[in-house]
Amino acid sequence: QVQLQESGPGLVKPSQTLSLTCTVSGGSISSGGYYWSWIRQHPGKGLEWIGCIYHTGSTNYNPSLKSRVIISVDTSKNQFSLKLSSVTAADTAVYYCARGGGYYDLLAGYLYGLYFDYWGQGTLVTVSS
């Protein structure tokens, strides 16, 4: 059974960089075949996909956040990470890491068919001075 666990600071100051790590157990990121995503949920609101990474290091980001997001992977530790820069109060949310699948459309130049079948428990990150 695949399990994911988010970790990182629960409080970040405005204008700083939010950094979170997701540790995967019960499965190997380096095995391939899956995309590893970050998804967030603003308090009392819906879900927003942030971006994902493949075991090769190939990334895909939501255009709405692309200028501030970096997702990286460390296959030796079976972890992947999120960095979100220049945060504001609007970035306060529960951040989830998730495993999923999808396909890459070479002609269109983007992922399609993305789904998320295993999720971490989520971690609340508050942006406040």
Nearest Cα to Cα of residue 18 among 95, 80, 84: 84
**Residue from 2, 11, 47, 124 that binds other proteins (CB under 8 A)?**
47
Q: Residue 91 pairs with which residues in a beta bridge?
A: none
Hey, CA dihedral for 97, 99, 100, 104, is it positive or negative?
positive
Round to whole Å and give the CA distance between 3 and 24.
Answer: 6
Closest separation in Å from C-beta 72 to other proteins: 19
Residue 116 interacting with other proteins (CB under 8 A)? yes
What's the start-to-end Cα distance of the chain, in Å?
39
Q: How many CB atoms lie within 10 A of CB 66?
A: 13
Closest separation in Å from C-beta 4 to other proteins: 9
Per-residue contact string for residues 96-115; x = within reach of other proteins by CB under 8 A: x-----xx-x--x-xxxxxx
Closest separation in Å from C-beta 76 to other proteins: 26
Residue 74 or 117: the one with the smaller Cβ distance to other proteins is 117
Residue numbers at the binding site for other proteins (CB under 8 A):
45-49, 62-64, 96, 102-103, 105, 108, 110-117, 119-122
